[in-house]
Amino acid sequence: MIWLRFMHSVGWIALWGWALIPSPVLSQVGRTEVSEVTFQGNQSFPDDSLSRAIVTRETECRSVVFTPFCWAGADFAVQRFYLPERDVPLDRLRLEAWYYQRGFREISVDTLTSLGEEGRATVSFIIDEGEPVIATRVDFEGGEGINEDGLLEGLPLQPGERLSILALDATRDTLERRLANRGYGRVNVLRRH
């Protein structure tokens, strides 16, 4: 009889504990899951490069190993991502900055969020790249008495390529390193574009 009362008490305590502890699934109620993120109009860069530049992610299988479980609908194998409504406009700005750094000064990005069945959304980024800015020449000015032989060869930014800020910074760093190797230890290369 005591054993029965003890088990009855343990059962009630377990039931109350289960009821009071929030479930991770219940905490997701009312949130919109992202089923797909698409990029339209991107000609110069692949989708996977653009997806690394933004915060919005689509729900995906956690690992290739879990793929059969994902197809079977096992929840543990799926990594769910939800629509960060405040981040979608920021992702638009992130993409514009990402393109700008890579030489596209006329970039324009618009977003479209489509709500589908079962509270799932598709987020589309519509991209108009515009024309890239092309470097017409790479010059070295100043530094009287510096031997320029081989100084401008094989630089990261070459004439005829997109004027990427990343390549421009790499070119500056390369020139500073080459000049330091020639004995100009306190040289500053300034970029002008």
In a domain, 47, yes or no: yes
pLDDT of 20-30, one tens digit each?
444 444 344 56
Mean pLDDT of 56-81: 87
What's the rounded Cα separation, in Å, for the pair 101 and 162? 10
What's the rounded Cα separation, in Å, for the pair 127 and 130? 9
Q: Are residues 35 and 98 in the same domain?
A: yes
Which is it for the CA torsion 163, 38, 109, 42, positive or negative?
A: positive
pLDDT of 161-178, one tens digit each?
999 999 999 999 998 898
Q: Are residues 48 and 121 in the same domain?
A: yes
Structural domain harbouring 190: 147-193
Q: Are residues 116 and 170 in the same domain?
A: no
Q: Are residues 160 and 76 in the same domain?
A: no
Per DSSP, helices labelled H in the chain are: 2-20, 47-51, 67-72, 87-101, 165-181
- Three-state DSSP class for residue 20: helix
Q: Are residues 116 and 72 in the same domain?
A: yes
The pLDDT of residue 71 is above 60: yes
In a domain, 52, yes or no: yes
Query: What's the pLDDT band for 95 if we cut at 50, 70, 90?
Result: very high
Q: Are residues 44 and 123 in the same domain?
A: yes
Query: What's the pLDDT band for 1 if we cut at 50, 70, 90?
Result: low
Mean pLDDT of 109-126: 90
Domain count, the chain: 2
Query: The pTM is what?
Result: 0.73
> What would the two tokens of residue 140 be?
């070295």
What's the rounded Cα separation, in Å, for the pair 187 and 140? 13
What's the rounded Cα separation, in Å, for the pair 53 and 91? 8
